[in-house]
Amino acid sequence: MKAIYKWATQMILSLRAEVKPPASDVMSVIGDYINRHMQNILVVNDNVDRRTAMPSLPTAEPKGELLVRYEPDTKKMFIAAKPFKNDCVKYQVNYKDTLQQLEKKGIFLGTTNKRLSKGMKIVSPGVHSLIFDCASSEFISMDDFVQSEDSHAGGEG
Q: What is the pLDDT of residue 27?
A: 85
Q: Is the pLDDT at 120 greater than 50, yes or no?
A: yes
Range(s) of the domain holding residue 98: 24-155
Would residue 16 count as lying in a domain?
Answer: no
- Residue 73: inside a domain, yes or no? yes
Q: Given the DSSP bridges, would you call strands 68-71 and 127-133 parallel, antiparallel or unpaired?
A: unpaired
Which DSSP helix (H) or strand (E) runs through 48? strand 48-49
Residue at 11 is within a domain: no
Residue 85 covered by a domain: yes
17 is a domain residue? no
Task: Say what the pLDDT of residue 82 is.
Answer: 96
Structurally, the chain folds into a number of domains equal to: 1
155 falls in which pLDDT band (50, 70, 90)? very low
Q: What is the pLDDT of residues 6-47, one digit of tens each?
A: 999 998 888 877 665 555 588 889 989 999 999 999 998 887
User: Is 38 domain-assigned?
Assistant: yes
Is position 99 within any domain?
yes
